Amino acid sequence: MPRIRELGIFESKLPPGAHNAITDVAGVAVGHYTLIAEEGAWTGNGPFRTGVTVIVPHEGNIFEEKVTAVTHTINGFGKVYGFEQVRELGTIETPIALTGTLNVPRVADALMTIAIEQNPHIGLGFAESGRQGYHSVNPVVGETSDGYLSDLQARPIGLAEVRAALADAATGPVAEGVVGAGTGTSCFGWKGGIGSASRVLPRRAGSFTIGVLVQTNYGSSEELTICGVPVGQHVRPPKPEKRQEDGSIMIVLATDAPLDTRQLGRLCQRAAFGLARTGSTCHGGSGDFVVAFSTANRTPDRPAELGGERPYFREQPVMDLFSLAVIEAVEEAIYNSLFMAHTVVGRDGNTRYALPVDDVLAVMGRYGRHL
């Protein structure tokens, strides 16, 4: 299954990185655990079409070396975990995990367990631990609902599955489509999933990289727009869509630029424009969230001294290029989640079909978009 850029119908003003993925930001790794089990009717313990995806900001101890971060809510119908402390303190101290909605508490608990294993002073306070440290840890977990294809109630993703996703985490190409947290999700009435993309800024903007990863689970088929072409008006799933929830999307942004939380927040807001380019109208029942982090400046758990020199990014006049990079990469990552997905039959025979690429190309050709 080709990514959209390989089909020759997607053009961008800024170039992608080597892998055209979030992992083009040096040090960032992505791992998946995919659970596909059982067939037929819902039993209370399956069938499962679900999983977990982790985004690891750097190769070190993230609790000890936190990354500058911010979260942003486009529409808040969701069950995300840990976002409020990120808004308050401006740092992330665990890998970011994405999963199915009702798995969120179990995945958060798993991240806590792993963080405590790596940092035994967590939760002991100051005097008892024999060192300075915080009393808690703040796992960050995002979600979309994969309940159309998977048994939500059984909540099968926990500690073992999160460990497996972390063990799978690697730099380089990112697996997309029906994998990890995207195993059971839908996009514009078709099979969606995980998608990724990146942009490299020109030298006058520092040659920095912006990377994006999405978990798509939103939209109805008639809304789908690809590169400005109303594809959804011409290509529909082979069976009428069963009524579904308005859906959601998780968007994760990474950069190696030394941006502060205010600047990262500006980029988070621009992610909504990339989402809109695909045809999204941000339904009221949709959970649309953005997490952004910079790998440039790490914050020690308890710094030995206050202050210190840090790289400073003077945003004008090049911030427009950062905004363009985010918009383009979000749009392309969403398309990749669609083009890289295959048909999946889930619980009770519910089916999400792969986007028919040949039909899409035919429509694009009629609108002047040729290979």
pLDDT digits (tens, 9 = 90+) for 21-40: 999 999 999 999 999 999 99
pLDDT in tens, the chain (371 residues): 899 999 999 999 999 999 999 999 999 999 999 999 999 999 999 999 999 999 999 999 999 999 999 999 999 999 999 999 999 999 999 999 999 999 999 999 999 999 999 999 998 875 555 555 557 999 999 999 999 999 999 999 999 999 999 999 999 999 999 999 999 999 999 999 999 999 999 999 999 999 999 999 999 999 999 999 999 999 999 986 665 546 899 999 999 999 999 999 999 999 999 999 999 988 878 899 999 999 998 888 766 555 555 666 776 678 999 999 999 999 999 999 999 999 999 999 999 999 999 999 999 999 998 66
What pLDDT shows up at residue 281?
A: 87
- C-beta separation of 265 from 303 below 8 A: no
How many structural domains comprise the chain? Answer: 1
**pLDDT at 243 (0 to 100):** 55
Strand-pairing partners, residue 188, are none
Q: Let me know if residue 161 belongs to a domain.
A: yes
Residue 336 in any domain: the answer is yes
Residue numbers annotated as active site = 248, 286, 288
Residue 157 lies in a domain: yes
Any domain includes 99: yes
Q: Mind listing the pLDDT tens digit for each residue in 298-355? A: 888 766 555 555 666 776 678 999 999 999 999 999 999 999 999 999 999 999 999 9
Q: Note whether residue 87 is domain-resident.
A: yes
Position 359 in a domain? no
CATH code for the domain of 243: 3.60.70.12
Per the rule left: phi > 0, alpha: psi between -120 and 50, beta: everything else, 279 is left
Query: What was the pLDDT predicted at 293?
Result: 99
Is 351 among the domain residues?
no
CB environment 68-104: b (16+ within 10 A), e (fewer)? bbbbbebbebbbbbbbebbeeebbbbbbbbbbbbbbb
pLDDT at 158: 99
pLDDT of residue 136: 94
| 361 belongs to a structural domain | no
Residue 326's domain comprises: 4-303+311-346
